[in-house]
Amino acid sequence: MRLTDFVHENFVAGRRARLLCAHLTDLIPQNSRVLDVGCGDGLIAQLLMQMRSDLSFQGIDVLIRPGTMIPVEAFDGQRIPHESDSFDAVMLVDVLHHAENPLGLLEEALRVSRNVVLIKDHTLEGFLAGPTLRFMDQVGNLRHNVSLRYDYWPRQRWVQAFASYGVKVTAWNQALGLYPWPAKYVFERSLHFLASLEVG
């Protein structure tokens, strides 16, 4: 294991998951059945169920890891294999910038959700944003054989994408606090956001 992989696995990934869940838990409606798109090992979903016993999760991913923490179904990264309006909420946590067709996958998430779509992703803003995001992507994903497209968007492009589907952005948070001092000054900045989209 490379040193960067060791540091990420032991000092970053767990903290990131816990802090993301602290933000996500307030955005998911009560008694929701949630689809976690690109769920990885299912850690975030498992932590959310520990915090919220009223939630249940189903995961889908293009690569199914061994020993996932929630039920995970394979999909092709484009068409979500579920009927329209079949979930109360859909999560895409650091997924859309990996997608071959991000707008198509977003449209699919909106199709299968009855209430909200929650998106955690990146904004291409600030000094050396591109190289920093590429480095983070490589450290977090190369060892899991995740496709790296480095397709990062500035905030305005996200806003335009959401507007094109006529959805209301009910929350937008770029102060997620995912990294400890002093790493936050390099890897946090304005590079991350969590948005809640109201469906319907």
> Would you write out the chain's pLDDT as a tens digit for each of its 200 residues?
443 433 345 445 678 899 999 999 999 999 999 999 999 999 999 999 999 999 999 999 999 999 999 999 999 999 999 999 999 999 999 999 999 999 999 999 999 999 999 999 999 999 999 999 999 889 887 777 787 889 999 999 999 999 999 999 999 999 999 988 888 888 888 999 999 999 97
**Sign of the dihedral through C-alpha 188, 189, 191, 196:** positive
Q: Please give the angle made by the CA atoms of 185, 187 and 189, to the nearest 5 degrees.
A: 60
Domain extents in the chain: 3-198
Q: Which amino acid is at 162?
A: F
Q: pLDDT at position 139, please?
A: 86
Protein fold of 3-198: Rossmann fold (3.40.50)
What is the pLDDT, as a whole number, of residue 55?
98
Structure tokens at 76: 């092709």
